[in-house]
Amino acid sequence: MKVVLIDDEQLAIDVLEIVIGEMKNVEIVGTFTDAKQAYREMEQLAVDVVFLDMEMGNIHGLEFAEELMTKYPRVEVVFVTAHPQYALEAFEVNAIDYLLKPVKKERLQKTIVKLQEKLALYANNQTVAGDANVRLFAQTMGGFRLLDHQNREVRWRTKKVKELFIYLWHHKEQESHRTRIMEELWSEMPDEKAATLMHTTVYQLRKRIKEIGIDNPISLVNERYVLNVDVQSDLTEIEGMLQTTEMSRSTIEKLIELYQGDFLEDEHYQWALPTQQKMKQSFLHYLEQFIMQVIDDKKQSYYIEICLEKMIQMEPYNERVVYLLLNHFGKMSKMQKMVALFHEFKAKWIEDLGIDVPKEIVSIYAEHLKK
C-alpha cells in the first residue's frame, strides 16, 4: 500500500511518518506541507491512500479531499485531526475515515487493515464492473431503491447521502450548483455548517458509488456537481409510455404495475414535489383518456375497472371518477361491487369531510339499483 502524508505542520508529518513506518506492507511515497503541491505531484505517484490534515491554513481538508477524489478517484482518504468534533460531525465515527492526533500505533493498525480490505473490495468490484458494463436501476415510485449491476440493493451511509444521490440524478441534465444544493438539502442550517455537511456528504457519496465499482462518479465543474453514473429507472419507463399516442391494454397493465405510488412519495423531499405532481397528473390524464376511448366497449370492462380503481386509490375524493366507476359497475351488472363502493365512498365523505355524498352519485346509484 502506497501512501502520501499531507499536513501544513512538518512536525505532525514527522510524527505520523514514524508511526506509519512501523506498519508492514505500507510505503510512504511522498510527504507534503503544501496541499496544492501535493495535488500537482500526486499524478506522478502511484498512490493508494492519502493521510490528510483536516485543517491546513486557508484550506479545509473536506474541500481539498473533494478536489482530490475528483482528479484521483481511486485514492482513499484518511483525515487526521486534532479536533474530534470535526470527525464526529463529518463522519459519525467511521474508523476508516479519520485519526485523532497524536496517532496511536494500535489505532493506526486497525485503520490500515480496513484500508487494505477496502482497496481489495474496490479492485474486485472494478473487475466485475468492467465485465458487466455497470448500470444501475432506480425504483422511484413510492419510495426509492437503487439496485446495482448484480441486482443488489445499495445501502446508504446516511439519509442525506441517499438524498444527495437522488437529487444529483434527478437534476443530472441541469447540473447542480453548490449553493442550490445547500438551499435544497440543508435549508435549516447556517451557511458554514451547511457547506461542511454538503462537502462531507459528497465525499461519502463518492466513496459509496466507488464501492459499487464506478470510478469518478461525481464531477465538479464551475461550482456545479454532475453525476457520472448510468442510471435507468421506472420513472423514465413511465414517462416514455405516457408520451405514446397508442393506448394498448398491455401499456395500461404495465403502467399500473409500475406506478406503485407517487414519485418519491415516501421520501418526503420538498424539492421533488413539482415532478411528483406533474407525474401524477400526467398519469391520471392518460388513464382518463384511455377510459373515454373505450367506455362503451364491454370487451374492455376489466381495463376500465382497473383504471378507475387506480384513479380512486390516488384521488379518493374525486367524485367524477367515483361516478364513472359506479356507473360502470351498474352497466356491467356488478351490483355487489357497486353497493360496496357506494357505501365505502359515503362513509369516507361523511367521516373525513363532514358532508354527504353528492346528488349526482346518489342519483346514478339509485338508478342502477332500480334496474
CA distance 125 to 132: 10
* pLDDT number for residue 234: 96
* pLDDT number for residue 175: 76
Separation in Å, CA 104 to CA 14, 20, 78, 115, 251? 14, 10, 14, 16, 63
Residue 303 pLDDT class (50, 70, 90 cuts):
very high
- DSSP class of residue 352 equals I
What is the pTM assigned to this prediction?
0.80
Nearest by Cα to 75 from 161, 17, 5, 3: 3
How much of the chain, in percent, has pLDDT values that exceed 90?
A: 52
Q: What strands lie across the sheet with 145-147, from one edge to the other?
A: 145-147, 136-139, 231-233
pLDDT digits (tens, 9 = 90+) for 37-58: 998 898 888 899 999 988 887 7
* pLDDT number for residue 125: 64
Class of residue 249 by CB neighbours under 10 A (exposed 0-12, middle 13-18, buried 19+): middle
pLDDT tops 90 at residue 132: no
pLDDT tops 60 at residue 186: yes
Residues of the chain with CATH 1.25.40: 233-370
What's the CATH class of domain 233-370? mainly alpha
Say if residues 251 and 166 touch (Cβ distance below 8 Å).
Answer: no
What's the CATH class of domain 136-231? mainly alpha
pLDDT tops 50 at residue 131: no
Residues of the chain with CATH 1.10.10.10: 136-231
Mean pLDDT of the chain: 88
pLDDT digits (tens, 9 = 90+) for 252-270: 999 999 999 999 999 999 9
Residues of the chain with CATH 3.40.50.2300: 2-132
Say if residues 127 and 134 touch (Cβ distance below 8 Å).
Answer: no
pLDDT digits (tens, 9 = 90+) for 319-365: 999 999 999 999 999 999 999 999 999 998 898 888 888 999 999 99
What fold characterizes domain 2-132?
Answer: Rossmann fold (3.40.50)
Collapsed DSSP state (helix, strand, coil) of residue 56:
strand
* pLDDT number for residue 92: 46
Which one has a higher pLDDT value, 85 or 294? 294
pLDDT tops 90 at residue 118: no
Listed in sequence order, the residues at least 6 apart from 346 whose beta carbon sits closer than 8 Å to its beta carbon are: 356, 357
